[in-house]
Chain A
Amino acid sequence: MALIELDTDARDNGLAGMIRDLISQNLANHADREKDLKALDGNIAIVARDIEVSLTLVCTRGSVVIHDGVRPPCKLTITTDSDNILKLSTLKITGGLPNYFDKTGREILGLLFGGKLKIRGLLAHPVLLTRITRLFSVY
């Protein structure tokens, strides 16, 4: 059973609670994605710059503790506006991979190439990014 919890410092961080619920409920709906959680290792930061809210998922192969703020060293740091964070979770998974060819996928690529979505660590940790995208995806 996967363990996803909020650290006490993240109790007032609404986004942290939403990410915890999103991953937990996605895992309940897609049990096959538990293998992604078990493979996650390292810190992943999410920064919603327009509302000045940030968090870090500290992942240790099967468990995730979500902290308030950015906790380096992070393998991935996803920085974008709050609206786009939810958009990331609407990316469809096709054949086990995020689909960047449908409308949502193209919009996300547009954000990435337009500089409105920044993913530091994208080139160094593409597998990690794919796994966290699968855990976030509501489809």
Chain B
Amino acid sequence: MAIPFPSEEWIAAYKEKINSNPNYKESGANWEHGTIALILQLDDENALQKARQDPILSKQLKADETAVGVWLDLYHGVCKEAKRVSVDEANQAKFVISGGYARWKAVLKKELDPVKGMMQGKLKLKGDLPTIVRFVKAAQDLVDSATMIDTKFVDE
């Protein structure tokens, strides 16, 4: 059954997909550079309304919440923890990638390569870029793991 994005269930499934992705296990084997957070701005009014009507997401979204953070604790090719956090908490991560709902949806549908998206200014990266450049393949494998989830987009 498709899991609504970005629910806590979706984040748990994301952790499973990362840990069962042999490509990430290899490309992230030397990763010991800290946490990565993804920030999803719920800037699409239609998607936000639909999310508030979704039986799962409606219970998880706070009334005034317009963005969701996904916290990934990664170490040597393993995701030790994946959890939903506030934007303030997400911004404490060593690396933060943020973007609007439509951008993340395009990434998950493989319509937008995240690195190209960053170069085009569609996604924003905060953190030590030289480290990310050394782990571009791992970053791509992390995103690939997310695309393997049977995702339900609330606006569809």
Contacts and interface: CB of A to CB of B under 8 A. Distances in A.
Interface stretch (B16-24, B60-68, B116-124): B116-124
B133 A51 contact: no
Interface of A: 12-15, 17-18, 21-22, 25-26, 29, 48, 50-51, 53, 82-83, 85-86, 89-90, 138-139
Contacts of A17: 121
B44 interface: no
A53 B128 CA distance: 22
25 contacts: A13-B121, A14-B117, A14-B118, A14-B122, A14-B123, A14-B124, A15-B119, A17-B121, A18-B119, A25-B129, A26-B130, A29-B130, A48-B119, A50-B116, A51-B119, A51-B120, A82-B116, A82-B119, A85-B119, A86-B133, A89-B130, A90-B133, A138-B129, A138-B130, A138-B133
Contacts of B106: none
B115 interface: yes
B125 A18 contact: yes
Contacts, number: 51
Interface in B107-146: 115-125, 128-131, 133-134, 136
Given A83-B115, A90-B134, A138-B134, A22 B129 contact: yes
Given A29-B130, A86-B115, A86-B136, 7 more contacts: A14-B118, A22-B133, A51-B116, A82-B115, A86-B133, A138-B134, A139-B134
Contacts of A51: 116, 119-120
A14 B119 contact: yes
